[in-house]
Amino acid sequence: MREITYAEAIREALREEMKQNDKVFILGEDVGRFGGCFGVTKGLWEEFGDERVRDTPISETAIIGSAVGAAATGMRPVAEIMFCDFMGVAMDEITNQAAKMRYMFGGKVSIPMVVRTPVGGGLCAAAQHSQSLEAWFTHLPGLKVVMPSTPYDAKGLLKASIRDDNPVIFLEHKMLYGVKGPVPEEDYIVPLGVADVKREGKDLTIIATSLMVHKALEAASLLEKEGVSVEVIDPRTLYPLDEETILSSVKKTHKALVVHEAVERNGFGGEIDHNGEGF
Amino acid sequence: MGEEKLWINMYTSMLRIRRFEEKVVELFAQGKIPGFVHSYIGEEAVAVGACSALEPTDYITSTHRGHGHLIAKGGDLKYMMAELYGKKTGYCKGKGGSMHIADVDLGILGANGIVGAGLPIATGAALSSHLQKNGRVALCFFSDGASNRGTFHESLNMASIWKLPVIFLCENNMYGISMPQRKGMAIDDIADRASAYGIPGVVVDGNDVIAVYEAVKEAVSRARAGGGPTLIEAKTARWRGHFEGDPQIYRTQEEIEEWRKKCPIKRFEEKLLKMGVLDEAKIREIEEMIAKEVEEAVRFAEESPYPEPEEALEDVYA
Ligand SMILES: Cc1ncc(C[n+]2csc(CCOP(=O)(O)OP(=O)(O)O)c2C)c(N)n1
Ligand SMILES: [Mg+2]
């Protein structure tokens, strides 16, 4: 199978979904001709034009808020927030609007929108450009939260997210954008809510997300030399969470380790730990 | 301070920013400075004109493009450079880097990695001055792109109804990354927005350090006298990319060249030479002094240690 980067895989998902469905459009800062701060949308403006690849002013509140309004009225916006750290600027729109509208309106509206945003450290860009804030979003009923670790997953999960009728927070990792992997050319999706066993083992289960999947796989190879067999599970979507795959692995290994990049306190690891009580 | 002495100080400060920034760009290209660097080259007259109209006890809030503001407010090149290197001896113990340099003792409430975050913080500093009746003003630097954030509206409105001693200084360099001003808003002058808040809105040539100084001085007097905030728009340009490494596909080389011809430092230098306030010998003396400061700053930064890993967990709580 041909290999492309994580960023290219995301771009392909956007292109394919935009071609298949004229309701899908992109909005965000510098996403047009500039191609996005990390180059993810490069070439899409040339292909789809100003109307469907919309450069916005520096107005995150209005980017997310207008995506909610457009989604409630028949469109399928894919908004880009340049760094996950800037989501704070639009947290009312995420928390009280996108996540709540359907519920509060008695199910009479759906909000089919995606917010793509990069998380994680690695660029030495200090405390306002390095965070992994997934726990903010998993705490909010009404949202789905996706965190791909490979180009294959990124493409399939983004296509599924765009087709989903709920608001989806799609968390990309900045240090993964250049990582290559096999990605089919034909149309496929990776369904939300299905974990992936990235490596099979029998002594220990590591549940890792995003970039940490790669670190866990490296650790697993090292441990193999010491005779320890590690199973690495990537939940891929934090909500909905595939508890079954995680639980059946831990039933086999009897030991679990959760590895994520975010602050440990009140992090997503605690949630997995809690779900795993009584192993 | 006599006017001539003030002018020489202003000239020196602009040149100090230029030479520091040239060095930073060079060091960044050599891989010695981690993270992002947003160069202030070309905009020196704004920081210097503005900070020259402030007292040392006044406050500023700065931006991601903040090195110039810090130097103009009295920042020490050694601690700045060490911070850019991520060293323990830097202004923020190496935890902030380029986008977060702060020195509260100098009234610098921080550069900021969040565009538009400085506006309400400056408003709050002005509120604090008002409540404590200490006569200090706050000056907020921000650029055209930031003026499209909600914080701009909320801050200007709040500062105007409470008549807070704050100066909102928009360094309009015509771009927010790749977005030209004319695409990000449907008006030519950001200063026009002042009328929506019932406050004065002033446009100045941001490459004319004296014009900036005069406009800010007037706004500062009004603020100290209880007359409330002013919005000043200084029209200028950055000569380099948004960040180091920006391919700048959104503007032409000619446009950049046009602005280079309007160099704020050259322009002021010529004026001071003509007036006899400066001469070639004095310029050489200033250049040499600054070269030494920059060299020392680099040496200090290179010789300083990195923080220890466990220091990453310090300073989270008071
Ligand atoms: C809230 C927020 N949105 C987006 C960014 C990313 N970003 C960093 S600088 C910048 C452009 C800022 O433009 P402007 O305010 O005109 O400042 P200039 O770079 O021209 O000095 C953007 C979009 C950010 N840091 N914070
Ligand atoms: Mg600007």
The answer to whether the CB of A77 falls within 8 A of the CB of A67 is yes
Best residue among B44, B63, B177 to mutate for probing ligand 1's pocket (most ligand atoms within 8 Å of CB) is: B177
Judge whether residue A124 has pLDDT over 90: yes
Ligand in nearest proximity to the CA of B147: 1
Ligand 1 closest atom vs CA B173 = 20
E strand intervals along chain B: 59-61, 138-143, 166-172, 175-176, 179-180, 201-205, 230-235
Q: How far is CA A251 from the centre of its chain?
A: 27
What is the mean predicted confidence (pLDDT) over A23-38?
A: 98
pLDDT at A277: 61
Mean pLDDT computed over every residue of chain B: 97
CA of A92 to the centre of ligand 2 (A): 26
Coil, strand or helix: which one is A103?
helix
Judge whether residue B1 has pLDDT over 90: no
B145 near A CB under 8 A: yes
Beta bridge mates, B171: B143, B234
Judge whether residue B257 has pLDDT over 90: yes
Which active-site residues of A does the annotation give? 129
Q: What is the pLDDT of residues A76-99, one digit of tens each?
A: 999 999 999 999 999 999 999 999
Please name the residue that has the structure tokens 């997995």.
A272
pLDDT at A273: 81
Q: Is the ipTM of this complex over 0.95?
A: no
From chain A, which residues contact B within 8 Å (Cβ)? 29-30, 32-34, 37, 55, 57-62, 85-86, 89, 123-129
The answer to whether the CB of A86 falls within 8 A of the CB of A60 is yes
Say yes or no for a CB contact (<8 Å) between A58 and B114.
no
pLDDT at B51: 98
In angstroms, the CA B67 to CA B60 distance is: 13
Query: Residues of B with CB below 8 A from A29's CB?
Result: 176-177, 179
What is the mean predicted confidence (pLDDT) over B113-128?
A: 98
What is the mean predicted confidence (pLDDT) over A41-55?
A: 98
Neighbours of ion ligand 2 (CB under 5 A): B 143-145, 173, 176
pTM: 0.96
Taken in order of first residue, the domains within chain A and their CATH numbers are 3-182 (3.40.50.970), 196-275 (3.40.50.920)
Say yes or no for a CB contact (<8 Å) between A33 and B250.
yes
Q: Return the closest-CA partner of residue B105 out of B78, B73, B77, B131.
A: B73
Judge whether residue A279 has pLDDT over 70: no
Residues 6+ apart with CB under 8 A from B85: B32, B33, B34, B94, B301, B302, B304
Say yes or no for a CB contact (<8 Å) between A125 and B99.
yes
* Minimal CA separation from B266 to chain A, in Å: 33
Best residue among A59, A81, A82, A115 to mutate for probing ligand 1's pocket (most ligand atoms within 8 Å of CB) is: A82
Judge whether residue A166 has pLDDT over 80: yes
In angstroms, the CA A232 to CA A235 distance is: 10
pLDDT at A176: 98
Instruction: Show the DSSP H helices in A84-124 as ranges.
Output: 91-92, 101-104
Determine the residue of chain B that is closest to A30 in CA distance: B178
Q: What is the pLDDT of residues B220-236, one digit of tens each?
A: 999 999 999 999 999 99
Judge whether residue A278 has pLDDT over 70: no
pLDDT at A276: 67
Query: Residues of B with CB below 8 A from A32's CB?
Result: 178
What is the mean predicted confidence (pLDDT) over B34-45?
A: 97
Mean pLDDT computed over every residue of chain A: 97
User: Is CATH 3.40.50.970 correct for B3-313?
Assistant: yes
What is the mean predicted confidence (pLDDT) over A167-191?
A: 98
Ligand 1 closest atom vs CA A86 = 1
Q: Return the closest-CA partner of residue B260 out of B29, B26, B18, B10.
A: B18
pLDDT at A62: 98
